[in-house]
A = this chain, B = another copy of it.
Amino acid sequence: MPQPYDRVFNFSAGPSTLPVSVLEEARDGLLNYQGTGMGVMEMSHRSKPFEAIIQKAEADLRTLMGIPEGYRVLFLQGGASLQFSMVPLSFLGEGQTADYVVTGAWGKKGVEAARLVGCVNVAWDGKGENYRDVPAPEALRLSPNTAYVHTTSNETIQGVQFAGDPSFESPLVCDMSSDILSRPVDVSRYALIYAGAQKNMGPAGATIVIIRDDFLARAPQNVHPILDYRVHADNDSLYNTPSSWSIYVCGLVYQHLLDNEGLEGARARNEAKAKALYDAIDGSEGFYRGHAEPRARSKMNVTFTLPNEDLTKSFVKEAEANGMDGLKGHRSVGGVRASIYNAFPQEGCEALASFMKDFAARNG
């Protein structure tokens, strides 16, 4: 079945597919946004129309996620990679320890950056079994009086996801880059949430930070202003020129989600999409093997292997010829990775599941 605008099913791990209606709206305002006489990319970030854009984006994100009073929402740059450094530079003081729960490649990068700043305790590490699982609460070896606990809610490379919001006595910092807005979360459990936009929210360039006031108040003085959460909060994300186009498109995505049953709607759609693929894996009599333990299976990145490398190559190549792009797995896991973020359509998952059955029948 041909897709609108002859689009393919884009299984990219990020940047990734966006809703067609959002793209159409972004397109239509590119030369003259709502009668302002200029496109969004060309607007001063201190102009009234752009202020309206960023304020509406924040308000809609607050509504969507149910962000309580007492939290600031920031639109920054630099992606999760800059957050890996900004978090310890602000919150891992001398003589303190931070606990990191490492469930995949991104959590590991967070540890590496934090170690440049101070003392890190790896409270759990899934590396021994190549990151297939998330820890049970009793398996964590937390430090007493830790500065914060850091988790990664979803690991894109391994396809491993926490089933829900963990709970800790210490401040919880979470990299939600790859599953933010894919399901409801209890924001009140977190001291700081960060996420690059380019998976579930919009184009690369914007990074969302949600930070609790009491945690923000712990940030020291004399941080470089561009790396200082307090400076960004005090300036309502306009300390310097923000990635304005990315923020605009994120706002369109937030509105689109609000128009489609919010995060409960997103969860239902994402669970149905993931089920189609995991059912295809589990029903293949071992031809496909899921990388993650069933309890840790990601709804965003479905990772699995085939019996050998030749079959994997054929699978990816044939899928691409059938309008399914971006399925090659990361080299550290091998096999196939199907990234099916919020905007990825159900019919793309059905198409892949159907192709998986057919391919296994022909090659099994």
Interface residues of A (CB under 8 A from B): 3-8, 10, 12-18, 20, 23-24, 26-27, 30-32, 35-39, 41-45, 47, 77-82, 84-85, 89, 112-113, 116, 196, 198, 202-206, 222, 224-227, 239-246, 249, 323, 325-326
Contacts and interface: CB of A to CB of B under 8 A. Distances in A.
Contacts of A196: 241
Contact of A241 (B10, B18, B47, B198): B198
Contacts of A20: 31
Contacts of A36: 8
A287 B203 CA distance: 47
Contact of A116 (B43, B85, B222): B222
B85 A226 contact: yes
Contacts of A18: 39, 41-42
A23 B32 CA distance: 10
Given A84-B226, A226-B81, A15 B41 contact: yes
Nearest to A206: B205
A223 B227 CA distance: 14
A204 B45 contact: yes
Contacts of A245: 203-205, 245-246
Given A79-B240, A203-B244, A224 B85 contact: yes
Given A26-B30, A78-B77, A204 B243 contact: yes
Contacts of A8: 36-38
Contact of A42 (B16, B31, B79, B81): B16
B32 A6 contact: yes
A20 B41 CA distance: 12
A91 to B, nearest CB: 15
Q: Which of A27, A79, A89, A224 has the most CB of B within 10 A?
A: A224
B243 A246 contact: yes
Nearest to A43: B15
Given A7-B31, A225-B113, A243-B246, A47 B12 contact: yes
Contact of A226 (B6, B37, B82, B204): B82
A44 B81 contact: no
A325 B204 contact: no
A240 B77 CA distance: 12
Contacts of A239: 81
Contacts of A206: 205
Given A14-B241, A38-B325, A80-B240, 15 more contacts: A8-B38, A10-B37, A12-B43, A12-B44, A15-B41, A18-B41, A18-B42, A20-B31, A27-B31, A78-B82, A85-B224, A89-B224, A116-B222, A203-B245, A205-B245
26 contacts: A6-B37, A7-B31, A8-B37, A10-B42, A12-B43, A12-B47, A15-B41, A15-B45, A15-B244, A18-B42, A37-B323, A37-B325, A38-B325, A41-B203, A45-B204, A77-B79, A77-B82, A78-B82, A79-B240, A80-B240, A82-B226, A85-B227, A204-B241, A205-B205, A205-B243, A205-B244
